[in-house]
Chains A and B, each alone.
Chain A
């Protein structure tokens, strides 16, 4: 993040009647960042995005843009670009006319509009489709038109509300790639709503995790993944194994454990990502006896569903090789991990 913030949200609340869609959301955003708002359905992501864009107003709290208070500024005066959930293209206008719309509103000269539209068509890979109506386009192409229209007038900030949710997996990956390229080439600040964690991890410079209208954590993807601030974030982003520590002795079900930082707490939970765990071979670091409940075959690897002696579930992935057929449900195994990769929750 660069020195001063471009956008700053200060304890934003948004109430619908007595229901709190957002409460006390504060964050700041540097110019050129790619921030993803990630969270389950109904967590307030779209509401927060609308407030940034000026399409909705907070019940209380302040929004600053380059230090100016823009809380009461309507959307059109903020001049941010917006890609709506479902695109909101003008169905009666052609691709070129859709992209030209905001430019015509700004009363730019004809020739300038034509050149800019051609440039946007080129940039978003829509060449040859200029004269088509949105209904004649595929989902991915409509998505590009929405992007081109939102970027046509060179906004300082681009807001995107689940732009890829209607696309199939392959197209989604391709569009993500293009969005990354656009972001890199333009240097515009992107705020991107998604409920797809992989998408958020792959695209963002920072991720903000929302739940029940509250900001749970904000940080770089690796920070959030490797050092989740709370149980919700840990469970929401990726897979995680969470084990209860014995109230005395710091072990798990009587098995002594080396804790991170050599701490000796009483009780609490210890968490670790499945990719940091392995089946124990010999006398290998931290070991815990478990029973195999199920094995899910996933092609190159298998997911093992395990159970501790205390009945807590955990899982890990193993490469599929000749070793595997011995692993039948009910087998008694040991799992191992490095204390450095575990953390308290």
Chain B
């Protein structure tokens, strides 16, 4: 046995015990509870209500990913390439959210967006609206809350890509007379594609498993997969169904990852 294998053994053991073992338990549950066989999976595949939840989850996660990565791109651009003062301010804005719990942030958005919340009050005071806009207990609120949570996570892969970029290619492009717009679209953006791919994967995978934010900001009106699993475990005991759903979620995310890596892995080099 090679020495390095011995050295990484503890990690493998830890991962096996804390991750693989429970997952196998869930696998078993999904095929046995309450009836042995594929019944749980069939229910998931056939029940229109469940399918609509899955569809909504995918839709929200796709939108959240797009919004977060796009916003994070701008934030990272300011952080990596801004003036010193801009950089410090942006850096603070990226770091502060990490110190605030996901719960507080969801409540923050709730009080900001609710019918009698800050935003509606401002809009009314400004005379822009007559009656309150419904901005909570719907998908809009979920998307805002989740994107806000996920933007800082998207910043890091983007920052790495932007920092690794060879400054001289930009200088060269400028020297050849390219406009700033052309340099951005044809040089800077493609050269940071690996960061965009990384951020997209990270945010999407995170978002699919989101629980607290959708539960609070969706107010039970826009249930997503993770919340559904929670309901099946703690409120209507359907453990087998919950397990089947978890397995599907896990394999779904896994295969999306593999597919994207295959398709765009070349860019990431």
- Residues on A close to B: CB < 8 A? 53-55, 75-77, 79, 82, 84-86, 88-93, 101-102, 105-106, 135, 153
Q: Does B243 contact A (CB under 8 A)?
A: no
Interface contact A84-B182, CB-CB below 8 Å? no
CB distance from B186 to the nearest CB of A (A): 8
Could you tell me if B176 and A88 are in contact, using CB atoms closer than 8 angstroms?
no
What CA separation (Å) do A79 and B174 show in the bound complex?
11
Given A88-B172, A91-B191, A93-B190, output 6 extra A-B contacts at Cβ < 8 Å.
Answer: A84-B171, A84-B172, A90-B173, A92-B190, A92-B191, A101-B173
> B171 contacts A102, CB within 8 Å?
no
22 contacts between A and B (CB under 8 A): A55-B175, A75-B174, A76-B174, A76-B175, A79-B177, A82-B172, A84-B168, A84-B172, A86-B166, A88-B166, A89-B169, A90-B169, A90-B187, A91-B169, A91-B191, A92-B191, A92-B193, A101-B173, A101-B176, A101-B178, A105-B177, A135-B269
Known: A88-B169, A89-B169. A82 touches B177 (CB 8 A): no
Residues of B within 8 A of A (CB): 166, 168-169, 171-178, 182, 186-187, 190-191, 193, 267, 269
Contact of A88 with B171 at beta-carbon distance under 8 Å, contacts A105-B182, A135-B269 already known: yes
Tell me the nearest residue of chain B to A76, going by C-beta.
B177
Contacts of B169 in A (CB 8 A): 88-91
Residues of B within 8 A of A135 (CB): 269
Residues from chain A with a CB closer than 8 A to the CB of B178 are 76, 101, 105
Considering the complex, give the chain A residue whose CB is closest to the CB of B175. A75
A79 to B176, CA, bound (A): 7
CB distance from B84 to the nearest CB of A (A): 16
CB atoms of A105 and B176 under 8 A apart: yes
Cβ of A133 to closest chain B Cβ, rounded Å: 9
Complex Cα spacing A102 to B187, Å: 12
**Once bound together, how far apart are the Cα atoms of A53 and B174, in whole Å?**
12
Question: How many Å from the CB of A47 to the closest CB on chain B?
Answer: 14
Q: How far is the CA of A85 from the CA of B168 in the complex (A)?
A: 9
CA distance A88 to B182 in the complex (A): 17
Closest to A97 in B: B186
Contact B177 A88 (CB under 8 A): no
